């Protein structure tokens, strides 16, 4: 999955690692080296990813900091439950993005190169809140993904095909 355009981080009281440790303590669980390594790895960059892409970036079996696939899948679910990550379905895959320390935002998705572009729109938020108020609805969040073709992909298809000339 292509990396996302950066959003400005929000100020938070705890690091992602501290937030996750707090979550684990509330459930009577302990922090493990693999979980700690995964939090550090995921929060070292701001990009969207699926489990397989994350696994491909991790050390292989026999190398230091190796994390099994089962631990990755289980930990990703825990990170979502802890409020560190958001997950959503895209092209039949579960895609993850950083949640903790980042503002509510939406996405433009290029169906050709699979790039996700993040954006924030105050007008969209105002419209959402006005519609919710009109219906007596309390908003807890939303997800908007606009599908289309990015500038780079649109520019690469400028050459007309014979069937386009008809």
**Beta pairing partners, 88:** 95
d(CA 23, CA 29): 9
Q: At a CB cut-off of 8 Å and minimum separation 6, what does 112 contact?
A: 149, 150, 153
CB 19 within 8 A of CB 83: yes
**106 belongs to an annotated ligand binding site:** yes
Quick one: three-class SS letters along 20-66? HHHHHHHCCCCCCHHHHHHHHHHCCCCECECHHHHHHHCCCCCCCCC
CB 120 within 8 A of CB 105: yes
**153 belongs to an annotated ligand binding site:** yes
DSSP 125: H
**113 belongs to an annotated ligand binding site:** yes
Binding residues for Zn(2+): 110, 113, 150, 153
Binding residues for Fe cation: 106, 142
Binding residues: 106, 110, 113, 142, 150, 153
């Amino acid at each position: 999955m292509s990396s996302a355009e950066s959003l400005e981080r929000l100020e938070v009281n705890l690091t992602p690692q501290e937030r996750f440790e707090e979550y684990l303590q509330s459930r009577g669980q302990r922090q493990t080296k693999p979980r700690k390594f995964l939090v550090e790895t995921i929060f070292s960059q701001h990009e969207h990813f699926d489990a397989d892409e994350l696994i491909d970036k991790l050390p292989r079996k026999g190398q230091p900091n190796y994390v099994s696939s089962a631990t990755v899948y289980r930990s990703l679910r825990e990170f979502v439950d802890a409020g560190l990550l958001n997950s959503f379905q895209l092209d039949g895959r579960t895609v993850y993005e950083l949640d903790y320390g980042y503002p509510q935002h939406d996405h433009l998705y290029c169906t050709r190169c699979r790039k996700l572009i993040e954006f924030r729109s105050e007008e969209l938020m105002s419209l959402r809140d006005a519609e919710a108020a009109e219906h007596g609805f309390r908003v807890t969040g939303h997800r908007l993904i606009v599908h289309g073709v990015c500038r780079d992909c649109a520019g690469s298809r400028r050459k007309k095909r014979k069937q386009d000339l008809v």
